[in-house]
């Protein structure tokens, strides 16, 4: 096995895992994942056990294929999937039946893990990958200690906390019901198009989803994410059984004492446009890969997009329980230009095990396109979520985004270009805007307690003096916080 000349490695301070694209003896691309030196024995053992678990399940089409685990159990080689991940899904605007098919496939994959008396424990939109047929493939099975990871990632930059069960977040023993919780949160994202929030409500109201989604689906999601694990679905089979009859809303899931679901009779969204946050329509009759490729400009709509780029592809049966695998050899006719079209940087590079794993994840073109499209949404929550997503991915050119009343506390926008942005009454507490270009922006009534605005360009900005600040607020040169309000000194740059 030889390493590719261009190393796609996760690199940042204290990272415990490093990934490198390599070439297998048969010429196919693969991903080599290895632990850094100095990790604890506990971390090493968890890593090794997870790799061996996935290798046991590698006969399945819905679990990441592990080709080999090194003799020292500190590294493994897996297939390389470069199409994208479930976090990219909103850009495709799939029909409801396709969304439910994806969720059902994830449930079936997790059930195979549970049959081995194991749990995934950290299912999230970022570690459900897509194969060339846009079918979901689970990665990171058993790999993440959520409790330790959140200690090293308190701001939940990698998204595990939003999808993880309360018992996983608190370091308590987990069983299949922890994965049921994660699937419920995944449903929130897939059905609603917005990244879920961490929470431990006894009976979550799911008010936003209940506005338009079929009542049966809302109640199924609610039962999945009940705080009390004993009240959730006991298995993936139970969950799938309810998904298959979600139209019978009185018989599935968990209802509130005072139901807030509005779509009681429908099997589809009551308002098809309510959850569509994109400015450009996508043809729903195209197959997913053609649609994805067309959106990103990688191929013309009439191009043949069905040739697989990895060991997975359209030759594989659609049944997610199919244990047959295709040959690992590359499809005939694959060219270097085809290889360059792949969306790089998903696969196992999203690893963040234990408290030491702090990765700078590569930005997938689809994720970037999806979030930028959401900046134009009519829903302020979606716009705020898009800003957070782009900020996490290192994007800094955000332009004149409209964010009045947006919840953006603790967002990192260092050096961002926000010329003409509207932050009226936005919550920017403890956010980092140092070095940002805020020319002609609107900051009236913004909450700036603990925020860092050092070295910002405020030329032509409006309303900073009506925002609120505190002793922890770091204001630009020439501004001071007086009685909870930014006050301009004589030496301050021009800002209204």
* Domain membership flag for residue 402: yes
Cβ-based neighbours of 475, under 8 Å, separated by 6 or more:
453, 454, 469, 481, 486
Segments in 244-303 forming alpha helices (H): 288-296
In a domain, 241, yes or no: no
Confirm whether 473 is domain-assigned: yes
How is residue 231 annotated by DSSP?
G
For residue 233, what are its two tokens? 């679905």
CA separation for the pair 367, 388 (Å, rounded):
12
Which CATH number do you get for residue 489? 2.160.20.80
Mean pLDDT in runs of 10 for the chain (496 residues)? 40 57 88 85 89 93 94 92 83 82 96 96 90 89 82 60 90 95 95 83 90 92 96 97 92 89 76 41 43 40 35 40 32 30 33 33 52 76 83 80 88 89 92 91 94 91 92 91 88 56
* pLDDT given at position 453: 93
- Assess if residue 52 is contained within a domain: yes
Nearest residue to 418 via CA among 390, 393, 380: 390
Write down the pLDDT at residue 152: 59
pLDDT computed for residue 61 by the predictor: 92
Task: Give the pLDDT confidence score for residue 43 in this predicted structure.
Answer: 85
Q: Do residues 208 and 381 touch, judged by C-beta distance below 8 A? A: yes
Does any domain span residue 406? yes
pTM of the predicted model as reported, rounded to 2 decimal places = 0.61
- Domain presence at residue 466: yes
pLDDT of 388 = 84
Closest by CA position to 29, among listed 344, 360, 361: 344
Identify the domain boundary among 66, 81, 96: 81
Q: Where are the beta strands (DSSP E) in 36-138?
A: 66-69, 75-79, 128-130, 136-138
The enclosing domain of 73 has a CATH number of: 3.30.200.20
| The last residue of a domain, from among 49, 81, 113 | 81
Mapping DSSP onto H, E and C, the string for 126-180 reads: CCEEECCCCCEEECCCCCCCHHHHHHHCCCCCCCHHHHCCHHHHCCCCCCHHHHH
Domain that holds residue 39: 2-81
Please tell me the total count of domains within the chain.
Answer: 2
Helix (H) or strand (E) holding 33: strand 29-35
Write the burial class of residue 173 (CB in 10 Å: 0-12 exposed, 13-18 middle, 19+ buried): exposed
Buried b (16+ CB within 10 A) or exposed e, 431-452: bbbbbbbbbbbbbbebbbbbbb
Residue 181 lies in a domain: no
Among the three residues 33, 60, 81, which one is the final residue of a domain in this structure? 81
Contact 92, 37 (CB under 8 A): no
Q: Is residue 57 part of a domain?
A: yes
Rg, Å, the chain Cα set = 23
């Amino acid at each position: 096995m030889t390493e590719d000349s261009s190393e796609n490695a996760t690199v940042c301070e204290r990272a415990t895992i490093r990934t490198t694209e390599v070439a297998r003896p048969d010429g196919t691309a693969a991903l080599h994942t290895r632990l850094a030196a100095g990790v604890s024995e506990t971390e090493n053992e968890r890593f090794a056990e997870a790799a061996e678990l996935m290798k046991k399940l590698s006969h399945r089409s819905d679990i990441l294929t592990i080709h080999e685990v090194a003799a020292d159990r500190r590294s493994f080689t897996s297939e390389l999937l470069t199409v994208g991940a479930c976090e990219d899904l909103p850009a495709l605007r799939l029909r409801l039946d396709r969304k439910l098919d994806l969720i059902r496939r994830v449930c079936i994959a997790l059930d195979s893990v549970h049959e081995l008396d194991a749990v995934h424990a950290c299912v999230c939109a970022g570690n459900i990958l897509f194969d060339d047929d846009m079918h979901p493939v689970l990665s990171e099975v058993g790999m993440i200690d959520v409790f330790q990871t959140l200690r090293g990632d308190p701001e939940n930059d990698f998204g595990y906390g939003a999808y993880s069960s309360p018992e996983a977040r608190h370091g308590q023993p987990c069983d299949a019901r922890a994965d049921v919780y994660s699937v419920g949160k995944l449903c929130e994202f897939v059905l609603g198009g917005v990244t879920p929030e961490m929470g431990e409500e006894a009976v979550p109201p799911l008010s936003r989803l209940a506005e338009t989604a079929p009542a049966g689906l809302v109640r199924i999601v609610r039962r999945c994410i009940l705080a009390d694990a004993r009240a959730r679905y006991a298995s993936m089979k139970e969950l799938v059984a309810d998904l298959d009859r979600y139209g019978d809303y009185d018989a599935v899931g968990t209802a509130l004492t005072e139901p807030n679901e509005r779509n009681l009779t429908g099997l589809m969204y009551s308002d098809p446009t309510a959850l569509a946050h994109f400015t450009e329509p996508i043809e729903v009759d195209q197959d997913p890969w053609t649609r994805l490729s067309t959106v990103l400009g990688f191929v013309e709509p009439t191009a043949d997009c069905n040739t697989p780029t990895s060991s997975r592809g359209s030759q594989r049966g659609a049944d997610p329980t199919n244990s047959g695998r295709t040959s690992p050899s590359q499809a005939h006719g694959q060219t270097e230009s085809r290889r360059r079209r792949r969306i790089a940087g998903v696969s196992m590079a999203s690893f963040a095990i234990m408290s030491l794993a702090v990765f700078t994840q590569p930005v997938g073109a689809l994720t970037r396109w999806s979030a930028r499209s959401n900046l134009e949404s009519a829903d302020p929550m979606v716009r705020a979520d898009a800003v957070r997503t782009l900020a996490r991915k290192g994007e800094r050119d955000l332009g004149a985004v409209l964010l009045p009343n947006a919840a953006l506390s603790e967002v990192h926008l260092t050096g961002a270009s926000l010329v003409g942005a509207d932050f009226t009454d936005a919550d920017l507490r403890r956010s980092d805007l140092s070095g940002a270009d805020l020319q002609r922006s609107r900051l009236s009534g913004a909450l700036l307690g603990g925020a860092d605005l050092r070295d910002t360009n405020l030329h032509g900005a409006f309303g900073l003096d009506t925002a609120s600040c505190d002793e922890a607020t770091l204001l630009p040169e020439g501004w001071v916080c007086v009685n909870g309000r930014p006050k301009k000194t004589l030496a301050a740059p021009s800002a209204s």
